[in-house]
With several copies, the nearest count.
Chain A
Amino acid sequence: MPDFKPAEMMTIAAARALSNDDVCFVGIGAPSAACNLARLTHAPDITLIYESGTIGTRPDVLPLSIGDGELCETALTTVSGPEMFRYWLQGGRITIGFLAAAQIDKYGNINTTVVGDYHKPKVRLPGGGGAPEIAISCGEIFITARHQKRVFVDKLDFITSLGHGPNGEGRAAFGVHTKGPTKLITDLCVMEPDPETLAFTVASLHPGVTREAVRDETGWSVAFADSVEETPPPTDEELTVLRDLQARTKAAHAAG
Chain B
Amino acid sequence: MARIMPLGEAVAQCVTDGASLAMEGFTHLIPHAAAHEVIRQGRKDLTVMRMTPDLIYDQMIGMGCVAKLIFSFAGNPGVGLLRRLRDAVENGWPRAIEIEEHSHAAMANAYEAGAAGLPCAIFRGYRGAELKRVNPNIKSVICPFTGEELAAVPALNPDVAIIHAQKADKQGNVLIEGIVGVQKEAVLAAKAAIVTVEEVVEDLRGLHPNLCILPHWTVDCISVVPGGAHPSYTQGYYPRDNAFYTEWDAISADRDGFLAWMDEHVLKSGPEDFARHAGKGA
Establish whether A and B are touching in the complex (CB under 8 Å): yes
| Chain A residues engaging chain B, CB cutoff 8 angstroms | 21, 23, 28-29, 47, 51-56, 63-69, 71-82, 84-87, 89-93, 109, 113, 118-119, 121-133, 135-137, 158-162, 165, 171, 174-176, 253-254, 256
- Whole-angstrom distance between the alpha carbons of A121 and B181 in the complex? 30
| Chain B residues engaging chain A, CB cutoff 8 angstroms | 1, 26-28, 51-52, 71-75, 77-79, 81-82, 85-86, 89-90, 101, 103-105, 108-109, 111-112, 115-118, 123-131, 134, 148-149, 173, 178-182, 184-185, 188, 204-205, 209-213, 215, 217-218, 233, 235, 239-243, 245
B193 to chain A, nearest CB (A): 12
Question: Is the Cβ of B104 less than 8 Å from the Cβ of A124?
Answer: no
**Beyond A130-B105, A165-B128, is A77–B235 a contact (Cβ under 8 Å)?**
no
B90 to chain A, nearest CB (A): 6
Contact of B27 among A66, A135, A159, A176 (CB under 8 A): A66
Question: Is the Cβ of A65 less than 8 Å from the Cβ of B129?
Answer: no
B132 to chain A, nearest CB (A): 10
Give the 9 A-B residue pairs with the shortest CB-CB distance, closest first: A67-B27, A162-B128, A126-B75, A129-B73, A65-B77, A64-B78, A174-B128, A86-B116, A256-B242
Residues from chain B with a CB closer than 8 A to the CB of A47 are 215, 217
Beta-carbon nearest neighbor of B129 in chain A: A132
Contact of B130 among A81, A160, A256 (CB under 8 A): A160
- Whole-angstrom distance between the alpha carbons of A109 and B73 in the complex? 18
Residues from chain A with a CB closer than 8 A to the CB of B128 are 109, 135-136, 159, 161-162, 165, 171, 174, 176
A21-B217, A81-B51, A129-B73 are known; give 15 further A-B pairs, CB within 8 A.
A63-B78, A65-B240, A76-B173, A76-B204, A78-B179, A82-B109, A84-B108, A85-B105, A85-B123, A91-B115, A126-B75, A126-B82, A127-B72, A127-B73, A133-B105
Question: Is the Cβ of B213 less than 8 Å from the Cβ of A256?
Answer: no
Question: Is the Cβ of B103 less than 8 Å from the Cβ of A133?
Answer: yes
Question: Is the Cβ of B115 less than 8 Å from the Cβ of A86?
Answer: yes
- Whole-angstrom distance between the alpha carbons of A80 and B29 in the complex? 14
A132 to chain B, nearest CB (A): 4
- Whole-angstrom distance between the alpha carbons of A85 and B77 in the complex? 19
B165 to chain A, nearest CB (A): 14
Residues from chain A with a CB closer than 8 A to the CB of B111 are 81-82
Question: Is the Cβ of B205 less than 8 Å from the Cβ of A69?
Answer: no
Question: Is the Cβ of B71 less than 8 Å from the Cβ of A53?
Answer: no
